[in-house]
Amino acid sequence: MLIVLSPAKTLDYDTPLTTDEHTLPDFIDDASELVDILKQRSPADLSALMGISDALAVLNVTRYAEWSRKFTKKNARPAILAFNGDVYEGLAARSLTSRQLGYAQSHLRILSGLYGVLRPLDLMQPYRLEMGTRLANGRGKDLYAFWGARVTETLNKELAAHKRKVLVNLASEEYFKVVKPKQLDAEVVTPVFEDWKGGKYKIISFHAKRARGLMARFAAAKGVTQPEKLKEFDAEGYAYDVRASTAQQWVFRRRTEG
């Protein structure tokens, strides 16, 4: 069983690390190719391409100018400790034990516009490049064309080492589009998180993102290797709803008062 997550826009390269363990990304050459393209863009170009503020554009022009093919503890940190958005607040990786981090390294993968696929302990230099960015490159008009089948092939290779060939999709639609389900040698299960609001259950983006991280943490804490065990997920009031679920889409709901 393998779990995939999206990355986060917000990064943290200041908080002290909780582990010295690290690995290197598999797709450094590919990332370098993308960085070479991005280094040619001005702040105004990046602002228009990514829909970001002038300040963020300047920050990322600097990041790409400083990006190096050599990953060190000075210019990079493990991905699971670098991302800092809603999903990663739910995951709370800094409080994971060594055993739980080991589980994450074996069972969790982070999809990335720049790095393709990251293991949690892969060193990552700071960047901003969402998977949906229409960055023209030598392989096509956008990042989906750039990565092609590489991400799916990598997931297949890693799933081959697992007894249960199930991919648990905790990524956003934008990121999971880089995976080609028809070429995937595994069953795909997508958990969905809904909250009661306005008289009905609905997906509320902030809560759903946090819940994805909470489920990844639940899996690491419990050492889950059988996907069905994820139906026991009950963090922060969520519970599996069998009637609202299908074989491929597992719905978790909560109804909070007030």
Query: How do residues 155-188 score in pLDDT, each as one tens digit?
Result: 999 999 999 999 999 999 999 999 999 999 999 9
203-254 pLDDT tens trace? 999 999 999 999 999 999 999 999 999 999 999 999 999 999 999 999 999 9
- In contact, 206 and 86? CB cutoff 8 Å: yes
Instruction: In whole angstroms, give the CA distance from residue 141 to residue 107.
Output: 32
Q: What angle do CA 103, 105, 108 make, to 5 degrees?
A: 85
Range 138-147, long-range pairs (CB < 8 A, 24+ positions): 138/33, 143/34, 143/113, 143/178, 144/177, 144/178, 146/30, 146/34, 147/30, 147/116, 147/178
Across the chain, what does the average pLDDT equal?
96
The whole-number pLDDT of residue 114 equals 98
pLDDT band at 258 (very low <50, low <70, confident <90, very high): very low
Confidence check: pLDDT of 257 > 70: no
The secondary element (H helix, E strand) that includes residue 47 is helix 43-50
- pLDDT exceeding 90 applies to what percent of the chain? 98
Both structure tokens of 134: 């229409």
The pLDDT > 70 percentage for the chain reads 99
Given the structure tokens 């595994």, which residue do they identify?
186
Element (H, E) at 59: helix 54-66
Average pLDDT over residues 74-84: 97
Q: pLDDT per residue over 114-151, tens digit each?
A: 999 999 999 999 999 999 999 999 999 999 999 999 99
Phi, psi of 252 (to 5 degrees): -120, 130
Q: pLDDT-derived band of residue 256, with 50, 70 and 90 as boundaries?
A: confident
Mean pLDDT of all residues in 48-62: 97
Q: For residue 131, what are the CA distances in angstroms to 48, 169, 180?
A: 16, 16, 14
- From 30, 129, 16, 33, select the one nearest 78 (Cα to Cα): 16
